[in-house]
Structure 1
């Protein structure tokens, strides 16, 4: 086996371990690519080779898979570490250049590149100060409210004590002003006096009631129509007179007219005194 073949196989073994491809940095010529395509077509056209490739494929064992994955993991960790170091170095270099540009050289004017950050920091500090002042104002208001509530409670308690003292004084005065208990004899005398006074009032009331009834009855009698009075008088005359002989009808009518005329002359002034209109009285005749 030649040295060239040994080197080729070594590179292929390293590539299989996941380190670097065996042909890294090399490109096939046009003739080589054409030859590879032709040989691949010829090999795939052979049924034995196709059966060998598709019928019984060989896969890696679990041990070889674990080795390959660990090797790849370690390689990529180193690559990422190197890349991060490059990024940090680039950022440090960029920041150093920015700081130098902000400060400027000797005799140059310093520029306010971080004015936005300064304004933001100032606004944040003002907001924090405002919050602190607001919290202190709330605490002061709370303390004031507690003091006012305490003063009001003390005042209410003082007023309640004063009211209790006033009530005690008034109760004592009422107790002093109450009369002492009377004896049984005095109680009976007081009851008798009340009964006598009540009887006197009732008697006066009944007397006045009787007088009013008499007055009302007299007025009613005076207000009776003359026709009714005449009829009553006729009945009385007929009852009082007991004629022995039979009187004619014409004589009775003549006697009734005479009595009617007499009663009419007597009843007219009575009706005038009782405030009854003459027209209503004359309607009864």
Structure 2
């Protein structure tokens, strides 16, 4: 994964202004498409996972696999700027194999989807208003997962990587059991991208490589811990040289990071009767 991280760099913040309504999520039918065309990963009861599209899962009755449940803790997982590629799918497998239901809305299911990054150059920040779109998609996903009677409502977490991490950090809306922010320093050149918008008592775990190649500009200097002074349950983990993760963008593939994440989840899950 170090090779992937070293290929992802060059995020800049383009000048310009945007009207307030540009930061909304767009038509509801577009937001709904990101849900129905998304993915769900469920534990299979034997340490593995089952993957389906959310539309197929709902069409089949939205029930858990035989021998799993009767209820599950749940993660709404938000992908990066290049969509549902290998990184979010790998993370979903890690979470679902450990006993979580994982729902991944697909921002690219929109019929109108402006490009927000080009990972091949690479370059980000091509669509400033995407943050409002992603926040609306996250809120819609949280609403939808609460409709399933097997979801533990007090154990719904939000996790995001890269652009999904920005969304996770800045989302304002429904309460969650905790937020996991991976690959984002919470510092930026656009004001609506900066900091943490979670309630002060909501658990937050931020994971970041100090020399993350996506964020070389000085405006990104720092990490999410800089905004946790008033958070009663906030933790920021920053990997610095010579740790091999100091220049990685994706971190969850390493077991020691998984251990930190699952310790966070275990600490903030409400025990079930």
Q: Which TM-score tier does this pair reach, normalised by the shorter chain?
A: under 0.3
- Which one has more relative contact order, counting CA pairs under 8 Å at least 6 apart? 2
Give me the TM-score of the superposition, normalised by structure 1.
Answer: 0.13
Higher helix share: 1
Higher strand share: 2
Q: Please say which structure displays the higher CA radius of gyration.
A: 1
Give me the TM-score of the superposition, normalised by structure 2.
Answer: 0.13
